[in-house]
Amino acid sequence: MMQSRTHTCGELRLSDAGKQVTLAGWLENMRAVSANLGFIVLRDFYGTTQIVAETEEMMQQFRAINKESTIQVTGVVRERSSKNPKQATGEIEIVPESVKVLGRCIYNELPFEVNRSREADEMARLKYRYLDLRNPELKNNIILRSNVIAAIRSAMIEHNFLEITTPILTASSPEGARDYLVPARKHPGKFYALPQAPQQFKQLLMVSGIDRYFQIAPCFRDEDARGDRSPGEFYQLDMEMAFASQEDVFEILEDVLPPIFAKYGKYDRASAAPFMRIPYLEAMEKYGTDKPDLRIDLTVQDATEVLIDCGFPPFASTRDITAEDGTVTGTEKTNTVVKAVVVSGFEGTRKFIDKTLSDVEVQAGAKPYWFRIDENMEAVGGIAKFVAPVKEAVIAALGLKAGDFVALSCGTLQQAQKTAGVLVKTLGAAVPGHMGKEQYAFCWIVDFPMYEIGEESGELEFCHNPFSMPSGGLDVLLAAERGEVDPLTITADQYDLVCNGVELSSGAVRNHDPEIMIKAFEMVRLGEEDVKKKFPAMYNAFCYGAPPHAGIAPGIDRMVMLLAGEESIREIIPFPMNKNAQDVLMGAPSEVTQAQLDELHIKIDLPEE
């Protein structure tokens, strides 16, 4: 017998009829039929049970209790005359003998109806998150999260990984996002940083002789919120393997993840191992993104050759150079490329087209264009008058047929690809027949560029992770130094795991050789002293004999979001922050006392409003 109850509200069945039981939970609802008859729904963590008050005295007791109060009900189980097949306890009801209030809700009006809390204003949901979590849908997401983490932990242990926790208070290091800083009381003027990821620590564990490490790691980054990213903190399955290659990492995750998605996922179809592997440049050219949603059958085609200089100004290969007085002084090349997304079976109205392409423009930051091929194989609508003169070449190049809708993007290669990628995603989801939604489509994105030209600096910079091993090792870096290889063509042994258009994880074979590491940093104008200063522990450790190692860190929050079929990551986090990185429930961030600031030797210098 449990405290305050003999059974839970999801436990009783018809076989329990005639038993005297005690239940405890929240008074979810009461429907009064008359002065001496009412139906009460009692809810706890496990489910709901119907209570039937059949006397005027019992009705008065229940009427005096506000909804969402916690109560204890003792009574007899009996068979329901009107059964509810949708409810686990739908064949029985309780006739109460006594009712006791265990925790009174003092408010007659709630901020929102618990069972409809997901329709409420987001700020209200976050402020009263403890009420929001009583909603069975949200509660089930939290249960799912717990079960998934338990399954991951079990699977990693079965694969001989050792669970090790790494420090939360550590040193600040340049890892791509803003740090959260913590003042050090015993060291005035100095700060700890919350880890953006356990990256350096897990690599140090490999140097220490640990063969396979993992943890469900909290990570802290001061960055803006998105639908698939919570501000402040998130959790990841952090793992690293000594004496391992890219293939070893792939093999582990392709063995660990599919059973978890099969057991806990909302959809019953998922990619089987081995997952598709797509080189980065191919992904950008074919899908317009390095996070392709393979549930969508639309792809991107290059239409530059047939549409450049067709007379449509945005597609022009040159543009006028205009002086301050408005006179044209010459022309210059635009480096414009044109990309096309062909959609078959399209029956959308002009209103639908305008709305959809407007949404694309907002997301991509560039305007898309369009035309159709009618039943007579003529170009109609949108920019058709510019396409008409080169119609035959366009039809041949893009493989068009009657009824096809063609969406177009243009600009620099990067902008045209980005807009085309948004077109694929938006049209694939909006046009029937082009998206097999109810499945999990995994792929690996591989062969990322090691370097890129920085948008602001205009000079060579690391493209992603500076600690990835360059494909070709020291030889390719030396060849680039001699001018024999273009640094922009060097790829890294880095990889992303993508599912349904969501990046679950980034990983890499690590650059464990100090000589290769120094040479890689020299390519971006940083020398040995810079590396020693920025990453002293890791650099020094590698000088004592580091094994080749590789790892990855799939995001737990994003994984659970996919499994639950949710669009927002806040639906699977127990106590999320809002979009402005505020915890409106606890009131964080908050002001602190002057005494606390004095103890830490901190002065506040706020900008003038």
Phi and psi angles of residue 439, each rounded to the nearest 5 degrees, phi first: -165, 170
Which residue shows structure tokens 């997901």? 118
pLDDT digits (tens, 9 = 90+) for 475-497: 999 999 999 999 999 999 999 99
For position 175, what pLDDT does the model report?
Answer: 62
Kindly state the tokens that stand for 46. Answer: 């496990």
- To the question of domain 14-103 being in CATH 2.40.50.140, the answer is yes
pLDDT digits (tens, 9 = 90+) for 578-588: 988 999 999 99
For position 176, what pLDDT does the model report?
Answer: 66
DSSP 499-536: ETTEEEEEEEEB---HHHHHHHHHTTT--HHHHHHHSH
Q: How far is CA 31 from the centre of its chain?
A: 41
For position 467, what pLDDT does the model report?
Answer: 85
For position 18, what pLDDT does the model report?
Answer: 96
- The residue among 98, 85, 112, 92 whose CA lies nearest residue 18 is 92
Residue 323 has pLDDT above 80, yes or no: no
- To the question of domain 296-435 being in CATH 3.40.50.720, the answer is no
Q: What is the value of pTM for the model shown?
A: 0.90
For position 26, what pLDDT does the model report?
Answer: 98
For position 225, what pLDDT does the model report?
Answer: 76
The number of C-alpha atoms within 13 Å of 539 and in the hemisphere containing its C-beta is 16
Classify 116 in phi/psi space as left (phi over 0), alpha (psi -120 to 50) or beta: alpha
Contact 527, 181 (CB under 8 A): no
| Cβ density class 102-129: b for 16+ within 10 Å, e for less | eeebeeeeeebebbebeebeeeebbbbb
Spatial distance between the Cα atoms of 266 and 376, rounded to a whole number of angstroms: 44
Alpha helices in 116-245 (DSSP H): 122-127, 129-132, 136-158, 199-207
Phi and psi angles of residue 503, each rounded to the nearest 5 degrees, phi first: -75, 110
Grade residue 91 by pLDDT with cuts at 50, 70 and 90: very high
Grade residue 527 by pLDDT with cuts at 50, 70 and 90: confident
Residue length, the chain? 609
pLDDT digits (tens, 9 = 90+) for 133-145: 999 999 999 999 9
Residues contacting 112, CB < 8 A, separation 6+: 119, 120, 124, 125, 128, 131, 132
For position 319, what pLDDT does the model report?
Answer: 79
pLDDT digits (tens, 9 = 90+) for 413-449: 999 999 999 999 999 999 999 999 999 999 999 999 9
Q: Which CATH superfamily does the domain covering 148-271+438-568 fall into?
A: Bira Bifunctional Protein; Domain 2 (3.30.930.10)
Q: Do 14-103 and 148-271+438-568 agree at the fold level?
A: no
- 266 or 321, greater pLDDT: 266
pLDDT digits (tens, 9 = 90+) for 211-237: 999 999 999 999 887 767 788 899 999
> Domain coordinates of the chain in residue numbers?
14-103, 148-271+438-568, 296-435
